[in-house]
Amino acid sequence: MRDTAARAVAAEPARRPERGPVIETRGLTKRYRGGQVAVDGLDLGVPDGSVFGFLGPNGSGKTTTIRMLLGLIDPTAGSVRVLGRPMPAAARAVLPHVGALIEGPAAYGFLSGRDNLLRYDRADPSADPRTRGARVDDALDRVGLAAAAGKKARAYSLGMKQRLGLAAALLRPRRLLVLDEPTNGLDPQGMREIRALVRELAAEGTTVFLSSHLLDEIEQVCTHAAVMARGRLLVQGPVADLAARARGRLAVTTPDPEHAVRILEEHGLTGLLADGDRVSADAPPGDVEPADLSAALVHGGVRVRSFGVERASLEDAFLALTGEGFDVAG
């Protein structure tokens, strides 16, 4: 079975770090036989209480990193601390406080959704059997599966299986929730519901570590993010700061696009694109005032309907950093 929830074999309480990161790695490296390096010298810091987006193109080492964070595979070099404790040495103390959904959910097809969760919970020796039924029902309700709780898991759609895996991670209050593509297979409404749930969990004090290939999802729900490529960390920090690293785009709406392109080129702008009545270009350098460009267009006879510099998105920053698309299944 694939790893659906990281569970421990003891319930020793984890020590809460004083104002420290919930996840911290130093020089974390994973090298496979043959010399292939999946993760190379990763220094990662996930702030307590954040919703942290983990991004990277295919093969960037994201899933390998997640497996090392949870003690599922050993690093070749470097260190991992989760909830202030070294991993995997402190796994017995840490993992009861961590919920995880990794590489998609796994379920017993011959059992109902509710019976699957009951079995997961019974496998956790630290779970209180007296509250098991209520906690299972609450987890099903939180992910929108209450109405399908009695249906066999084999009849679940991919999106329903994804919800079931998330419910397993939420059977008990968690200080850290690690989610690998949590909206995979969900329709737009389901995606909105999961985003709302992530925000709700963060508001309750749970730190959420979220891997996703949907950059708009990261931008909507995450407070912080990190970008990986070829096993190395390129950048990390608050989402707003990462987006600010990328230059915005100048956008002009005009019925005279060819004329506008010519004037903007004369003023040194680059990356010019014309699409119908919309002309865009790389944002002007700091020594060029947008107001002067607007005046030049008007004086040149261009009929300007709208003019402005659009804010750079996280997608702009991602593409500028990696030079690649963002199919991030790696």
Q: How confident is the model at residue 2 (pLDDT cuts 50, 70, 90)?
A: very low
Look at residue 324 and tell me if it is in a domain.
no
Clarify whether residues 214 and 73 are in a common domain.
yes
Clarify whether residues 304 and 205 are in a common domain.
no
Could you give the number of structural domains in the chain? Answer: 2
Look at residue 4 and tell me if it is in a domain.
no
Clarify whether residues 240 and 258 are in a common domain.
no
Dihedral sign for Cα 90, 206, 6, 103, please: negative
Q: Is 233 helix (H, G, I), strand (E, B) or coil?
A: strand
Question: Among 21-25, 124-128, 131-135, which is the least confidently predicted range?
Answer: 124-128
Clarify whether residues 204 and 257 are in a common domain.
no
DSSP classification of residue 152: B
In this prediction, residues 16-36 reach a mean pLDDT of 82
Clarify whether residues 258 and 168 are in a common domain.
no
* CATH code of the domain in which 295 resides: 3.30.70.100
Clarify whether residues 191 and 258 are in a common domain.
no
Look at residue 319 and tell me if it is in a domain.
no
Model confidence pLDDT, tens digit, residues 45-56: 999 999 999 987
- The domain containing residue 214 runs over which residues? 23-244
Model confidence pLDDT, tens digit, residues 210-253: 987 777 777 788 999 998 888 999 889 898 777 666 666 788 99
Look at residue 183 and tell me if it is in a domain.
yes
Last residue of a domain, one of 222, 244, 266: 244
* β 224-229/51-55 pair status: parallel
Q: Alpha helices of the chain — where are they, by DSSP H? A: 62-69, 91-94, 113-122, 132-142, 158-169, 188-203, 215-221, 239-244, 257-266, 290-299, 314-322
Q: What is the Cα–Cα distance from 57 to 231, expressed in whole angstroms?
A: 10
Clarify whether residues 254 and 234 are in a common domain.
no
Q: What is the Cα–Cα distance from 315 to 297, expressed in whole angstroms?
A: 29
Last residue of a domain, one of 189, 215, 244: 244
Look at residue 11 and tell me if it is in a domain.
no
Clarify whether residues 203 and 236 are in a common domain.
yes
Model confidence pLDDT, tens digit, residues 138-186: 999 988 899 999 999 999 988 888 889 889 988 988 899 999 888 877 7
Clarify whether residues 208 and 292 are in a common domain.
no
**pLDDT score recorded for residue 321:** 59
Last residue of a domain, one of 224, 244, 264: 244
Clarify whether residues 162 and 284 are in a common domain.
no
Whether residue 192 has pLDDT greater than 80:
yes
Q: How confident is the model at residue 285 (pLDDT cuts 50, 70, 90)?
A: confident
DSSP classification of residue 312: P
- Average pLDDT along the chain: 84
Clarify whether residues 71 and 210 are in a common domain.
yes
Whether residue 330 has pLDDT greater than 90:
no
Clarify whether residues 43 and 150 are in a common domain.
yes
Look at residue 72 and tell me if it is in a domain.
yes
